[in-house]
């Protein structure tokens, strides 16, 4: 049965035309302005660790650690290799106690000692740099965190060596978060470099990494492609007038755009086909032996097509995914993936606030068998927030959904009632503020 599915996919792959321009505008950037209340994607949008008061270290514990460090430094000198681990332990203690500034100092000094003794690009720095990720996040110091991730990627070897797929995917995840946090005056350069670096590692990994690790890079690139699609100029699509207006590009003539804007326009024209190509190749790969992973990739393909407006292909894919789950003994996933309509994209690529900010707005609507919202009604819990209810109304009409399936067939869902967080200016300010 599995071989039959792979054979079908190989035929599909022959029909993929990644160089063709898209004919429909993509759906709404779900997560950018509103999100289902309680929804989270911790793999894409982590939140800062909260200090557990019950686990706070006693002040004298850190004092004793500092005393032992002073004694060790007196005996062996300020750059003794033996100082590295006690400094790291002190940083962890201070971090657990909520003293993020003190923790940053301790970890930075541990890094300095390690560099003095082992060189600037010692792999032993990686655990300390990862500790600093958490510290900078707890401080909301996004620019320092950005610099740490750049250094982290250099330690990994950048795009010039065989990649550590999991570590590289984490670096790419941060780049998307940096884009959402608006760290740059213009995000075109970062987005282009993100896509191209991810693509370089995918090329390097094609024949060398096992399927499970390749998937991390493919999934990352797919999320990058979502961002590229959302940044597109409206005139990059066909003459449809009902598509959403993109954000990001100014509307000057092409020759007046900078080199990164021009490159993004080129990437966008190929984006839908490139995403499809990546996923179909992976699903059909002979070394994908984990049928749960194959099914996840196939669902990602269906969602990608649905979000890009290729509903006919997407609905066929949803049926095929359901049949594949049945054939490979994964029936539990049918309810998880297809038990109710799902807002797309379902990966957090656009999520600007992973916390609890925003204005609560209730919504009632129907989703037809093609994943389109109908009969939308919205109501703010607070009368003062009526404007956000109207914005949510418009946003839901532009949102594409994965439809509910019954017996493997897409069906309509009526009387859907949900609560959403609509991100108000204060929520966005907190998300972006240092």
> Mind giving me the DSSP string for 244-291?
PPP-SS--S-GGGS-HHHHHHHHHHHHHHHHHHHHHHHHHH-TT---H
- pLDDT single digits (tens) 203-226: 999 888 999 999 999 999 999 999
**pTM exceeds 0.85, yes or no:** yes
Least confident residue range of 234-238, 270-274, 278-282? 234-238
- pLDDT attached to residue 18: 44
- pLDDT attached to residue 202: 95
Q: Phi/psi of residue 364, each to 5°? A: -130, 135
Mean pLDDT of the chain: 88
Instruction: pLDDT band for 145, please (50, 70, 90 cuts).
Output: very high
Listed residue (193, 184, 178) closest to 136, CA to CA: 178
Distance CA 379, CA 53 (A): 38
Work out whether the CA dihedral 37, 42, 47, 51 comes out positive or negative: positive
- pLDDT attached to residue 227: 97
Pair 375, 412: CB distance under 8 Å: no
- pLDDT attached to residue 8: 55
Q: Which residue has the higher pLDDT, 61 or 292?
A: 292
Average pLDDT over residues 251-279: 85
Listed residue (205, 198, 203, 200) closest to 221, CA to CA: 198
Question: Beta 404-406 vs 409-411: how paired, if at all?
Answer: antiparallel
* 389: exposed, middle or buried (Cβ count in 10 Å: 0-12, 13-18, 19+): buried
Instruction: pLDDT band for 138, please (50, 70, 90 cuts).
Output: very high
Domain with CATH 1.25.40.10 in the chain: 49-139
* Residue at token pair 């699609």: 229
Q: How far is CA 284 from CA 20, 133, 179, 238, in A?
A: 21, 37, 32, 31
Run of H or E residues at 374:
strand 373-380
Domain with CATH 3.30.2420 in the chain: 359-432
Pair 354, 371: CB distance under 8 Å: no
- pLDDT attached to residue 144: 96
Listed residue (154, 170, 162) closest to 206, CA to CA: 162
Helices within 308-344 (DSSP H only) = 311-327, 332-338
- pLDDT single digits (tens) 325-337: 999 999 999 999 9
- Does the pLDDT at position 305 exceed 90? yes
3-state secondary structure of 176: helix
**CATH number for domain 49-139, candidates 3.40.190.10, 2.40.110.10, 1.25.40.10, 1.10.10.10:** 1.25.40.10
Is domain 359-432 annotated with CATH 3.30.2420?
yes
- pLDDT single digits (tens) 341-357: 999 999 999 999 888 88
- pLDDT attached to residue 54: 47
- pLDDT attached to residue 232: 64
Instruction: pLDDT band for 155, please (50, 70, 90 cuts).
Output: very high
Buried b (16+ CB within 10 A) or exposed e, 306-324: bbbbbbebbbebbebbbeb
Average pLDDT over residues 82-111: 95
Q: How far is CA 17 from CA 6, 108, 222, 280, in A?
A: 19, 49, 17, 12
Instruction: pLDDT band for 362, please (50, 70, 90 cuts).
Output: very high
- pLDDT single digits (tens) 275-292: 999 999 999 999 999 999
Helix (H), strand (E), coil (C) string for 82-132? HHHHHHHHHHHHHHHCCCHHHHHHHHHHHHHHHHHHHCCCCHHHHHHHHHH
DSSP letter, residue 384: G
Average pLDDT over residues 180-202: 94
Question: Which range scores top for mean pLDDT: 14-18, 127-131, 228-232?
Answer: 127-131
Listed residue (366, 220, 373) closest to 300, CA to CA: 220
Q: Cis ω on the peptide bond leading into residue 345 (within 30° of 0)?
A: yes
- pLDDT attached to residue 160: 60
Percent of the chain with pLDDT over 70: 84
Work out whether the CA dihedral 331, 333, 336, 340 comes out positive or negative: negative
Question: Beta 359-367 vs 413-422: how paired, if at all?
Answer: antiparallel
Average pLDDT over residues 240-260: 53
């Amino acid at each position: 049965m599995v071989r039959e599915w792979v054979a079908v996919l190989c035929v599909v792959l022959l029909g993929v035309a990644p160089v063709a321009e898209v004919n429909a505008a993509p759906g709404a950037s779900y997560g950018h302005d509103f999100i289902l209340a309680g929804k989270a994607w911790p793999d894409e949008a982590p939140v800062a660790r909260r200090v557990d008061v019950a686990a706070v270290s006693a002040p004298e514990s850190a004092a004793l650690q500092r005393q032992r460090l002073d004694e060790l430094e007196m005996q062996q000198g300020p750059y003794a290799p033996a100082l590295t681990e006690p400094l790291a332990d002190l940083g962890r203690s201070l971090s657990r106690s909520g003293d993020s500034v003190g923790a940053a100092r301790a970890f930075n000094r541990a890094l300095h000692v390690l560099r003095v003794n082992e060189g600037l690009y010692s792999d032993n720095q990686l655990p300390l740099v990862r500790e600093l990720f958490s510290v900078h996040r707890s401080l909301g110091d996004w620019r320092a965190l950005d610099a740490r991730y750049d250094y982290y990627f250099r330690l990994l070897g950048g795009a010039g060596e065989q990649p550590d797929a999991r570590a590289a995917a984490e670096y790419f995840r941060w780049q998307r978060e940096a884009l959402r946090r608006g760290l740059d005056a213009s995000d075109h350069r970062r987005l282009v470099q993100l896509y191209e670096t991810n693509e370089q590692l995918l090329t390097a990994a094609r024949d060398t990494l096992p399927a499970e690790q390749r998937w991390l890079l493919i999934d990352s690139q797919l999320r990058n492609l979502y961002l590229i699609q959302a940044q597109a100029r409206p005139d990059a699509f066909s003459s449809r007038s009902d598509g959403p207006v993109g954000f990001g590009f100014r509307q000057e003539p092409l020759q007046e755009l900078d080199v990164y804007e021009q490159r993004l326009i080129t990437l966008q024209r190929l984006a839908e086909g490139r995403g499809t190509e990546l996923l179909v190749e992976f699903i059909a790969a002979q070394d994908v032996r984990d049928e749960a992973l194959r099914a996840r990739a196939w669902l990602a393909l269906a969602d990608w097509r649905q979000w890009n407006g290729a509903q006919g292909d997407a609905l066929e894919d949803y049926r095929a995914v359901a049949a594949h789950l049945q054939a490979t003994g994964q029936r539990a996933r049918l309810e998880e993936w297809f038990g109710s309509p799902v807002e797309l994209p379902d990966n957090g690529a656009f999520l600007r606030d992973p916390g609890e900010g925003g204005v609560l707005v209730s919504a009632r609507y129907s989703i037809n068998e093609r994943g389109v919202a109908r009969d939308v009604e919205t109501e703010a819990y607070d009368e003062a927030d009526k404007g956000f209810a109207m914005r949510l109304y418009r946003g839901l009409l532009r949102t594409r959904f994965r439809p509910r399936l019954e017996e493997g067939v897409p069906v309509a869902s009526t009387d859907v009632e949900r609560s959403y967080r609509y991100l108000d200016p204060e929520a966005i300010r907190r998300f972006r503020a240092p």
